[in-house]
Amino acid sequence: MIEIMSASALATVQDLGRCDALRWGVGTAGAMDPLALAAGNILLGNDAGAAAIEVPVFPFQVRFTQDGVFALTGADCAARLDDAPLLPWWAGQARAGQVLSLGLPRGGAWAASRAYLCLAGGVDVPQVLGSRSTQLRGAFGGFEGRALRQGDVLRAAVSGSPAARPTGFGLVPPALALPLQRDGVPAMRVLPAAEYSHYTEASRAAFWAAEWKITAQSDRYGYRLAGPVLEARTTVEMRSHGIVPGVIQVPSGGQPIVQMRDAQPSGGYPKLGTVIEADLWRLGQAPIGSRVRFIETTWEQATAALDETDAWLAEARRLVELARHQRARS
């Protein structure tokens, strides 16, 4: 019930990722900002992990071919429904024929780079190996295993009158509710990995102290960072082993690459550390050209951070359900 009007937008259907298929070489894929995806679903009363459209390139336009409800979270991209400006992180409704336009992400209080468009019940595409996320390498899952193109039509899993689905409320983005910065620069917590001690003391210190620039060669596979050259004291040819999104590899050039959602689920380059799961959304939203910092953390702090994001989602769900219930009654 929506038709993609934009060409080459690199938009893909994602959910919270494909688990349980690592043993066949299938990585998780999934939203770069899972918190925004979940929040958009919560705004519509969907399961938190329902599939949505991840929009990384702007401007982006879709046309509603039927009446429907939608939620838009992630980057604040001056969205409009026809001519009417929309509030960010908001649930709204559209009539057949209306065009939803996402503009360029604004800086503002939070500089982000990906938006999430959620539909009633989630985007209706088949589950493959337990997930609706797009697996680009291998071309399966999501919408025909590929990025969306002009003319593609996507359905909401739940149809029916938008009158039955309350909208007209929003959420305060977690970037504001759960801020994390060092000296004004967005920061992510990192747990040291197996080869951390292979790096010189000066390089380790530089890793924590530096403002790392997200270079233009950064995408869903990995974020290539520019900053001080990190030197290893020893070079070991490693055995291939499983890795996860967030793993920070340092190839021989000395510039770190953070593996992201579409990264290979295994590799053989030395690992300095891993961005903790609770902070992956922060990095996933960092725009090309922006800078980030890394904060050394402990297991206890990292698991507490997971509790914090879980609590934010639970609170959002509780309050949204109250608002939906109230609106349904009135």
Partner 1 sequence: MRFDSIQQLSAWLADTDIAVLELSGPGVSLRLHQGDALGTIEAQGAAPPATPVRPQGLTVRAPSVGVFLAAHPLHSSPLASPGARLRAGEPIGLMQVGALLLPVHAPQDAIVRAVRAAPGTPVGFGTPLFELDPL
Partner 2 sequence: MTSEQPAVSLLGTSALLFEAPGHAMALQTQQRIWSLARVAATWPEVREAVPGMNNLMLSFARAPRAIDALRDRLCDAWEAVTPLPLEGRVVELPVVYGGDGGPHLADVVSHTGLSIDDIVEIHSAPIYPVYALGSHPGYCYLGGMNPRIATPRRKTPVLSIPGGAVSIGGAQTGVSASAGPSGWNTIGRTSMHFFDPASNPPALLQPGDALRFRVEKVIR
- Residue numbers at the binding site for partner 1 (CB under 8 A): 76, 87-90, 106, 108-110, 168-173, 176-177, 312, 315-316, 319-320, 322-323
Three-state secondary structure call for residue 119: strand
Name which of 105 and 192 has its Cβ closer to partner 2. 192
Query: For residues 56 and 102, what is the distance between their CA atoms, to the nearest angstrom?
Result: 11
Distance separating alpha carbons of residues 240 and 23, to the nearest angstrom: 13
Output 124 or 262, the one with its CB closest to partner 2. 262
Please give the Cα distance from 4 to 164 (Å, whole number): 25
CB of 42 to partner 2, least distance (A): 20
> Of the candidates 59, 88, 60, which has an alpha carbon nearest to the alpha carbon of residue 74?
88
Closest CA to 223 of 182, 275, 173: 275
Contact between 26 and 81 under an 8 Å Cβ cutoff? The reply is: no
Smallest distance, Å, CB 30 to partner 2? 12
- Burial profile 64-91: b = 16 or more Cβ within 10 angstroms, e = fewer: beebbbbbbbbbbbbbbbeeeebebbbb
Q: How far is the CB of 174 from partner 1 (least distance, A)?
A: 8
Tell me whether residue 2 or residue 188 sits nearer to partner 2 (CB atom): 188
Token pair for 89: 């992180």
173: partner contacted, choices partner 1, partner 2, none (Cβ within 5-8 A by kind)? partner 1
Using CB under 8 A, list all residues that contact partner 2. 19-27, 128-129, 135, 137-141, 190-194, 221, 236-247, 251-253, 264-269, 271, 274-278, 299, 302-303, 306
Least distance (Å) between residue 126 CB and partner 2: 10
Smallest distance, partner 2 to C-beta of residue 272, A = 12
Nearer to partner 1, 241 or 327 (CB): 327
